[in-house]
Structure 1
Amino acid sequence: MPSCRPLAAVLSAVVLATLTTTVATVATPSQAATAGPKTVIANLFEWNWTSVASECSSFLGPRGYGYVQVSPPQEHVRGQEWWVAYQPVSYRIESRKGTRAQFQSMVSACHAAGVKVIVDAVVNHMANTDKSGPGWAGSAWTHYDYPGTYQSQDFHHCGRNGNDDIVNYNDRYEVQNCELANLADLDTGATYVRDRLAGYLNDLLSLGVDGFRMDASKHMPAADIAALKARLSRSVYMVQEVIYGAGEPITPQEYTGNGDVHEFRYGKDLARVFRNERLAYLSNFGEGWGYIPSNVANVFVDNHDTQRDVPGTLTYRDNGIYALANAFMLAWPYGSPTVMSSYEFTDRNQGPPSDASGRTNNSTCFTGGWRCEHRWQAIANMVAFRNAVTGTGVVNWYDNGFQHIAFGRGSAGYITINDEDFAVTGRSYHTNMPAGRYCDVIHGEKSGTTCTGPVITVDATGWFRTDVAAHDAVAIHTGARIS
């Protein structure tokens, strides 16, 4: 029987070390090549532009990541906190992460590596009154006055709750016309405001950006986002931040006509299952759980908000169990996945590793506070698995009724995850994969004609035998076949 326990605390030292092993060296592009479209997004949260450019070239591209999501690039208020980037004071591409020239150089480097760039776009609001003085690049501003950009008439003044802040999330008017945490709420229904916002987004498109994560989309009517999208100079990928709230009048489904929507229930439910419930329950995970349709859902185990503000969320601190949850996400066909890449923090307001002026330090993975989960072996190698199995369905599902599951993806891949407190030994698994020898990508990878880790042999009838340690997994795919 499974037990309700803090799983990270009971992971064996050997398995934890295996699952959190980092991939510090990169295979050549020919070795790292994968079949099918590359859809996995790496969210390099608060990385500076020089570091993003380097990571696209040295790791994300060769490892098969299709997109990199970067933090807001516009001028923002001054400060050390992470959230200053979400308080614009102008639309100049000048921030603690770098200059306009560095941003454009980053986009070019990522494109050369085959990685598309998604910008976290803050279009719902400007700054709040907790900060003051000039912005990062020297622009003057006050709460409702941004010279040359917006004045008081360009903002909502909802007249509620004494300070115009949102209090009641069951009131659609409040959520979309009052202020989120005192942030000056733009009147996105006004033509002038829409034109200014579209000007900012089109400026980013002129620098080569491929898509936008629309921050705080729930606080704007879906029609306002549609009006912005109609003003864009070309088609782009768009994903909207709409946090589901039980019984609330504003729902994620309202926004699917504009593009993808974050399915926040996914990570919350996955954490609960991996921590306290049965993996066997995941056999219909996704639309079978009442989520939005898979083709418009963006999913993640955690993001920069949930890892700070949602109790129970799996994060880098959960080590091996976090790696397993990400491996499941990358193997499971629901939605398009985003892998979080964090920095260490002890306080929810703590900003990225920075110098005394607030300028973000270069990201050197696994040192200086940068956790780089996108490089963890069990996560990074499952990106190639995802690319290999794209377009295939789930086959040969198995579960023991509790914490041991296994499933295939068409004839292209197979994974088994054991979250029991004991090893599963002497068991065989049935796949639809061609006979041959494959690298177990959870514990190693293909290197030329050999594997750096265990080899799994699939026989002529599609069966293979393997042992799976407690709180561990084994995964194979056609891109990791060595004979």
Structure 2
Amino acid sequence: MHRRRSPSGLLTVLVLAAFAAVTVFTAVGPTAPPAAASLTGSKKVIADLFEWNWNSVANECQSFLGPRGYGYVQVSPPQEHVRGQQWWVAYQPVSYRIESRKGNRAEFQSMVNACHGAGVKIIIDAVINHMSGQETAGFGWAGGSYSHYSYTNIYQYQDFHHCGRNGNDDIVNYQDRYEIQNCELVNLADLATESEYVRGRIAGYLNDLLSLGVDGFRIDAAKHIPSTDIAAIEAKLTRSVYIVQEVIYGAGEPVQPGEYVGNGDVHEFRYGRDLGRIFRTGKLSYLSSFGEAWGYLPSDKANVFIDNHDTQRQGGDILTYKDNGLYALANAFMLAWPYGSPTVMSSYDFSNNDQGPPSDNIGRTLDTTCFSGWRCEHRWQVIANMVGFHNAVDGTPVVNWYDNGNNQIAFGRGSAGYLTINNEGYAVTGRRYHSNLPAGRYCDVIHGDFTGGSCTGPVITVDTGGWFGADVPAHDAVAIHAGAKVG
């Protein structure tokens, strides 16, 4: 279920002496084209640079994401928000001004331009279900004044839901559609998205981002917005864009992810949880039918991930950067398996679930320095190199599946790639694997980088019949693909 820790009592609102007026945007009418429902281009892997500032995202697009084949970068909410050091302050908007602890409007525009120049498209985490959860009036990051149900020049009391349930208007019963979509998510002021005025304000914010060159939106807390309201907002957009919606599956609940596929892609939360369980305690052999056969969303509507900023704080079966090699193997499988559109998480070290990104004393996000406070999972050798694998095998079927009935699996992707994962507690040696790859020498991209026709790691020789031999250590893998042919 979609929950964030209640901000009540956790955040002290710091009042600024200066007041910055909130920019007013005009929404476009409903004649605009509908939003696109799929990713475009030959490179479709998304890197989620959670809470990176705009200058760091720009640099990463140019220095790593573009050159290594990532097609999209997802960035955290850019609008003005409440003040504080916690991660979740970014999910408590106080205006639609493009100024946050991650940077100002000019820096945001520069980031978009830099990423586009590197061939990387921009997806924005869009918070449109709610505003802040603060009971005390104050000023936001850019000086915008607000109280719980009053936001200067934007929204007033009548623009929010006041469901009259549970003594505090909070959602309690996830078996009740009305509560899910009309009550408050942990005290966050819930926008009345059935209102044409509210829809116009939201569309105005999204259209402002589109005017800056944004290529898509992740709709945060979409489960708490009726799918018809999202469709009405999308109809006001000035051009077609990629849309992915956060709708968490709950068994037996009245609001289901499948309701939202008409608006665009939908996060398939079961994917990461099930994959984590299998890699931790199950059998990899179960994965031969992983995807729609498990009751998941249609593959062409599903966005998948091993973890995201919410699930990595929930524990249980979810794998995160703290699982090190096992996490890398799960990502390798995700990037090799033909189900859904994959998002790679890139996060920072945290020791408690409220902890925000590396910041200065007023909460401004510091420039990213990988592997020093920032985990940068998207740069891990296995994960980064499997992005190239994903690009090389895109659109090809699974062929030549093999498993040992337990925790070693192997499969090809058409004639473009082959992956074997050994999650046993012992090495698998002396085994030969049947790929459909043409004869030749290929870089094992799990253990080496392929550059300039050469490999920094082991080289695998495929014979004229597509067979090759490889020893696979315990809890390790071997991967080869047509885009990394040596010589």
When normalised by structure 2's length, the TM-score is 0.91
Alignment-mate amino acid for residue 434 of structure 1: P
Aligned residue number for residue 443 of structure 2: 439
Corresponding residue number in structure 1 for 2:190: 185
Aligned equivalents of 2:392 and 2:105: distance in 1? 36
Higher mean alpha-carbon deviation, 436-445 vs 306-315, is at: 306-315
Are 1:380 and 2:380 an aligned pair?
no
1:428 corresponds to 2:432: yes
Q: How far is 1:130 from its partner? A: 5.6
Aligned to 1:402, the other structure's residue is in SS state coil
Determine the C-alpha separation between the residues in 2 that align with 1:329 and 1:131.
Answer: 44
Matched, 1:294 2:270: no
**CA deviation after TM superposition for structure 1 residue 482, in Å:** 1.4
**Retained in 2: the 8 A contact 1:81–1:351?**
yes
- 2:82 aligns with 77
What displacement does 1:311 show?
A: 2.0
State the Cα distance separating 1:449 from its structure 2 match: 2.8
1:133 CA displacement:
1.6
Contact 2:124 2:216 in 1 (8 A): yes
Q: Which residue is 2:46 aligned to?
A: 41
- Matches for 1:134-145 after TM superposition, within 5 Å: 134-145=139-150
Cα pair 1:266 1:300 within 8 Å, conserved: yes
Q: Percent identity?
A: 75
CA distance in 1, matches of 2:361, 2:441: 53
TM-superposed deviation, 1:446: 1.5
Indicate the residue corresponding to 2:210 in structure 1.
Answer: 205
Q: CA deviation at 1:147?
A: 1.3
Q: How many Å separate the matches in 2 of 1:269 and 1:417?
A: 17
1:91 matches 2:105: no
Paired amino acid for 2:324: N
Equivalent residue, structure 1, for 2:410: 406
Give the AA of the match of 2:381: Q
Deviation at 1:165, TM superposition (A): 0.2
Give the letter aligned to residue 290 of structure 1: G
Unaligned runs of 5+ residues in structure 2 are 1-40
**Structure 2: distance between partners of 1:294 and 1:410:** 18
Q: Does 1:419 align with 2:423?
A: yes
1:4 match = none
SS of 2:138's equivalent? coil
Residues of 2 paired with 1:322 and 1:141: CA distance?
41
Q: TM-score when scaled to structure 1?
A: 0.92
Deviation at residue 131 of structure 1 after TM alignment: 6.0
Distance 1:272 1:52, change over 3 A: same
The 3 A distance-change label for structure 1 pair 88 and 452 is: same
Partner of 2:316: 311
Aligned equivalents of 2:115, 2:290: Cα separation in 1: 33
Higher helix share: 1
CA contact (8 A) 1:77 1:132 kept: no
In 2, Cα distance between the equivalents of 1:272 and 1:130? 39
Tell me which amino acid in the other structure corresponds to 1:468: V
| Residues 77 and 131 in structure 1, CA contact (< 8 A), matched pair in contact too | no
2-structure distance, mates of 1:447, 1:223: 48
Kept in 1: contact 2:135–2:148 (CA 8 A)? no
2:173 is matched by which residue type in structure 1?
N
What residue is the counterpart of 1:478 in the other structure? 482
Q: Contact (CA 8 Å) 2:48, 2:73: kept in 1 or not? A: yes
CA distance in structure 1 between the aligned counterparts of 2:164 and 2:302, rounded to whole angstroms: 35
User: How is 1:191-270 mapped onto 2 (pairs within 5 angstroms)?
Assistant: 191-270=196-275
CA displacement at 1:448 relative to structure 2:
1.6
Distance in 2 (alpha carbons) for counterparts of 1:388 and 1:226? 34
Distance 2:464 2:270 in 1: 41
Return the offset for 1:312: 2.3
Q: Is 2:270 the partner of 1:285? A: no
**Cα contact 1:417–1:471 (8 A) shared by 2:** yes
Give unpaired runs (5+ residues) of structure 1.
Answer: 1-35
- Distance between the aligned counterparts of 1:419 and 1:446, measured in 2? 25
Residue-by-residue CA offset, 1:196-252 (whole Å, 9 max, x unaligned): 000000000000000000000000000000001100000000000000000101100
Please give the alpha-carbon distance, in whole angstroms, between the structure 2 residues aligned to 1:432 and 1:450.
22
